[in-house]
């Protein structure tokens, strides 16, 4: 039988059409989400666990039949602790992968890098970290704390009798927007409480910094001048490992100069000998040591998923877990993954977090959460020494004069 060119072309077209049907059906039966966390570089020590918890939630929801009757697919990318690369990867996720939402970022510099992309392409970013505030975007939902409902209550605790009646403060941070802006707010708060400039020491080091000997010596000297002194640390990423090692090497004990960290939790401490660090503090809205039925169930689910009973949980992970559930509830409520519909549906949504508290998404795209302060224990866990009721956040700090007339809509 002789094949004409027209017959051959028609046959190829039919094969292409036949092959495309399953692909189209697969696409229609799948909801894609993006996972945008550093899996390499200086922030991998902190961010990898956040990728894992989102994958755990995707696995669980798919075992229960998916979302809106569709399978959820996580598209994982590694921006490698490279801030411009975060923006490139975000654009790929929204434009090429057509994800319905993105769960990601840790540092504020990475969030600032991707924010214009999400606003330009009208995507949704679910951001799980406490941060410096001073921001509001219709394209971002912030899942943790701002200074108003974390740093300020933590500093008030340090100044109280229970916290050591601290009079002098070292503001120690990594050199980028979150530590600098947070410390601007903390300094303004301290001045409003009568703390003099000479009783505040401020220092910044680069990402990945590891030569802490000189700085820890300076902290010791500053703390030896007659007034109770504490360090408020916004050091981020793997720089915390040599920082805490040097504190131990130089014998900086919590009984002498307590360090309260805002970016160090169970995950960062797991590779350290924490014996010399016992009594130092961290400020979060969740600790693995929270004793609630909800947290016991959360930890069990995590260990069952990872098949590793030694894996820890921490605050950013808990925030990511809450955000994923808030998003799925909003999608179900809206009956759609459409950005506008989900953005409207999520306001007022609530989930019970592993802390046992109800976490609420407010109109200002920030969540109501409690403040907790924990003391480092020898096993790398934290004993909770202070816990508030859930606090509705003010993203724009009332301690900065330029925010006096800003609308802090809940």
In a shared domain, residues 378 and 287:
yes
pTM (whole model) above 0.85 = yes
Give pLDDT, residue 3: 44
| pLDDT level of residue 8 (50, 70, 90 thresholds) | very low
Across residues 45-67, what is the average pLDDT? 97
Q: pLDDT for 324-363, tens place per residue?
A: 999 999 999 999 999 999 999 999 999 999 999 999 999 9
First to last CA, the chain: 76
Number of structural domains the chain divides into:
2
Contact 349, 333 (CB under 8 A): yes
Tokens of 322: 């809450």
Tell me if 12 is assigned to some domain.
Answer: no
In a shared domain, residues 308 and 386:
no
| pLDDT level of residue 268 (50, 70, 90 thresholds) | confident
In a shared domain, residues 108 and 63:
yes
In a shared domain, residues 103 and 160:
no
- The answer to whether residue 375 scores a pLDDT higher than 50 is yes
Across residues 267-290, what is the average pLDDT? 92
| pLDDT level of residue 1 (50, 70, 90 thresholds) | very low
Tell me if 11 is assigned to some domain.
Answer: no
- The answer to whether residue 17 scores a pLDDT higher than 80 is no
In a shared domain, residues 65 and 186:
no
Give counts: helices (H), strands (E), the chain.
12, 15
Tell me if 16 is assigned to some domain.
Answer: no
In a shared domain, residues 266 and 384:
yes
In a shared domain, residues 53 and 186:
no
Tell me if 20 is assigned to some domain.
Answer: no
CATH code, domain with 159: 3.40.50.2300
Q: pLDDT for 190-230, tens place per residue?
A: 999 999 999 999 999 999 999 999 999 999 999 999 999 99
In a shared domain, residues 355 and 255:
no
In a shared domain, residues 332 and 269:
no
Domain that holds residue 68: 25-144+292-369
Across residues 61-73, what is the average pLDDT? 97
Q: pLDDT for 227-264, tens place per residue?
A: 999 999 999 999 999 999 999 999 999 999 999 999 99
Tokens of 152: 């300020």
Give pLDDT, residue 410: 67
In a shared domain, residues 263 and 341:
no
Tell me if 7 is assigned to some domain.
Answer: no
Tell me if 1 is assigned to some domain.
Answer: no
Name 316's Cβ contacts closer than 8 Å, sequence gap at least 6.
46, 49, 50, 106, 128, 129, 144, 265
Give pLDDT, residue 5: 45
Give pLDDT, residue 118: 98
Query: Percent of the chain having pLDDT more than 90?
Result: 87
In a shared domain, residues 386 and 277:
yes
**Sheet (strand 71-77) strand order:** 71-77, 30-36, 101-104, 125-127, 140-142
- The answer to whether residue 16 scores a pLDDT higher than 50 is no
Tell me if 2 is assigned to some domain.
Answer: no
Give pLDDT, residue 28: 75
In a shared domain, residues 229 and 246:
yes
Tell me if 329 is assigned to some domain.
Answer: yes
Give pLDDT, residue 391: 87
Give pLDDT, residue 7: 46
């Amino acid at each position: 039988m002789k094949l004409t060119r027209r017959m051959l072309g028609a046959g190829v077209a039919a094969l292409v059409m036949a092959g495309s049907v399953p692909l189209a059906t697969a696409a229609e039966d799948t909801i894609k989400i993006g996972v945008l966390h550093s899996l390499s570089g200086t922030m991998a020590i902190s961010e990898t666990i956040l990728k894992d918890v989102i994958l755990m939630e995707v696995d669980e929801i798919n075992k229960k039949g998916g979302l809106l009757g569709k399978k959820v697919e996580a598209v994982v990318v590694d921006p490698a602790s490279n801030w411009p690369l975060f923006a490139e990867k975000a654009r790929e996720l929204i434009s090429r992968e057509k994800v319905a939402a993105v769960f990601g970022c840790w540092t504020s510099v990475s969030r600032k890098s991707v924010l214009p992309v999400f606003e330009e392409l009208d995507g949704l970013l679910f951001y799980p970290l406490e941060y410096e505030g001073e921001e509001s975007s219709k394209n971002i939902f912030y899942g943790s704390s701002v200074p108003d409902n974390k740093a300020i209550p933590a500093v008030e605790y340090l100044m109280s009798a229970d916290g050591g009646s601290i009079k002098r403060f070292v503001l120690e941070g990594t050199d980028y927007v979150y530590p600098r802006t947070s410390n601007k707010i903390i300094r303004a708060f301290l001045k409003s409480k009568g703390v003099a400039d000479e009783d505040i020491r401020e220092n910044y080091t680069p990402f990945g910094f590891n030569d802490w000997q000189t700085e820890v010596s300076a902290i010791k000297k500053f703390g030896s001048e007659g007034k109770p002194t504490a360090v408020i640390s916004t050091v981020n990423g793997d720089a915390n490992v040599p920082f805490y090692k040097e504190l131990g090497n130089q014998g900086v004990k919590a009984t002498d100069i307590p360090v309260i960290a805002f970016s160090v939790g169970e995950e960062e401490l797991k590779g350290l000998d924490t014996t010399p660090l016992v009594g130092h503090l961290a400020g979060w809205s969740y600790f693995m040591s929270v004793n609630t039925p909800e947290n016991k169930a959360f930890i069990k689910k995590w260990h069952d998923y990872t098949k590793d009973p030694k894996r820890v949980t921490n605050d950013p992970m808990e925030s990511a877990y809450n955000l994923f559930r808030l998003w799925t509830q909003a999608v179900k409520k809206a009956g759609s993954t459409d950005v506008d519909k989900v953005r409207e549906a999520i306001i007022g949504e609530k989930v019970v977090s592993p802390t046992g508290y109800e976490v609420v998404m407010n109109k200002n795209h920030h969540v109501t959460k409690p403040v907790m302060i924990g003391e480092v224990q020898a096993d790398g866990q934290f004993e909770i020494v202070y816990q508030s009721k859930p606090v509705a956040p003010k993203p724009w700090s009332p301690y900065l004069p330029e925010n006096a007339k800003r609308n802090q809509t809940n």
